[in-house]
Amino acid sequence: MSTLVDDDLWSAVGDPTRRRMIDLLLADGDGTATSLSERLPVTRQAVAKHLAVLDRVGLVHASTAGRERRYRVDDEQLARAVRQLNAVGSAWDSRMDRIKRIAESIQRTNDENTRRTDEKNE
Amino acid sequence: MDTEYGAIEREIRIEAAPEVVFEVVSSPEHLKAWWPDEAEYAPIPGESGRIGFHQDGGRVAWEQFTVVDAEPPRMFAFRWTHAEGEDAAPGNSFLVTFELEPEGAGTVLRMTETGFRERGWSEAVVAQNYAEHVAGWDFFLSRLPAYAAKAAQ
């Protein structure tokens, strides 16, 4: 793993309101800024802004139906976001394992050296 | 899922003294053995440097690296990924903290990485009911296989 995750995608799903919106869209199949704002403690304007952020990173797609834009979750991009979140966690699992192996190997060498010195001094 | 709280937390028991583990988590030479390919910094609080990751074609992707705290052999903390020329601070970087606790002849090493939520966080209202969010995130994760299967059809 080189550096990190896609910053934009990360900050898009890093927001609890936006995650709640994704949950609602997944549960309902689709939704509009109005329908989502009725079920969230935020204004329709705030929901519209959040939808724009999600749209920009490809997590949702809009279609125009009547007077309002109707949004659906992009399954593929959602799966990608989750993979990235998990990747950061598993990267730390392997780093911690490497830290453990290196430290234990140094400790064994130190102990061995101490033992030899003690034997010499006896 | 721990990333819900904007933090990744890991804990591991190591059969080595805290002094040894501290060296491994803090010195640039050792860091290269467990994480980046290149590491150029002094492990002293306030010191800045960079760590590099080899890319295809011989290029090196550099990330800024600033030591925040170093209390041998108990704690080592750094920030990384802030833009070059910027001072590392909450909101522009990730904070990694290692805490070392002696346990018998060994060490319990705890790692926390935070800053995932703070980065790019502007319009959002942070203070909300955590329980609700955890439920939401879990709900969303638990539904993924079904949606992935549906998407594959």
Query: Where exactly are the structural domains of chain A?
Result: 1-122
Rounded Cα gap, residues A27 and A107, in angstroms = 53
- B116, B125 in Cβ contact below 8 A? no
Give the pLDDT confidence score for residue B109 in this predicted structure: 95
Q: Is B92 near chain A, with CB under 8 Å?
A: no
Domain ranges (residues) in chain B: 2-126
Chain A from 38 to 97: CB within 8 A of any B CB: 41-42, 46, 49-50, 73, 75-76, 78-79, 82, 85, 88-89, 92-93, 95-97
Burial class for A38, CB neighbours closer than 10 Å (0-12, 13-18, 19+)? exposed
Was domain A1-122 assigned CATH 1.10.10.10?
Answer: yes
Q: Cβ contacts (< 8 Å) between A61 and chain B: which residues?
A: none
> Which segment, A72-76, B7-11, B30-34, B69-73, is predicted with the most confidence on average?
B69-73
* CATH H-level, domain B2-126: superfamily: START domain (3.30.530.20)
Instruction: Give residue A6's pLDDT.
Output: 65
pLDDT of B90 reads: 85
Cα(A113)–Cα(B107) distance, integer angstroms: 20
* Per-residue pLDDT at B117: 61
Residue of A67 and B105 predicted with greater confidence: B105
pLDDT in tens, B48-70: 999 988 877 888 888 899 999 99
What does the pLDDT profile of chain A (122 residues) look like in tens digits?
Answer: 333 446 677 778 777 788 889 888 988 889 999 999 999 999 999 999 999 999 998 999 999 878 889 999 988 888 777 766 666 667 788 889 999 999 999 999 999 999 898 888 87
Give yes or no for a contact between B49 and B42, defined as CB atoms under 8 angstroms apart. Answer: yes
Mean pLDDT of chain B: 77
Closest alpha carbon within chain B to A74:
B151
pLDDT at A32: 95
- Sequence-distant (≥ 6) Cβ neighbours of residue B145 within 8 angstroms: none
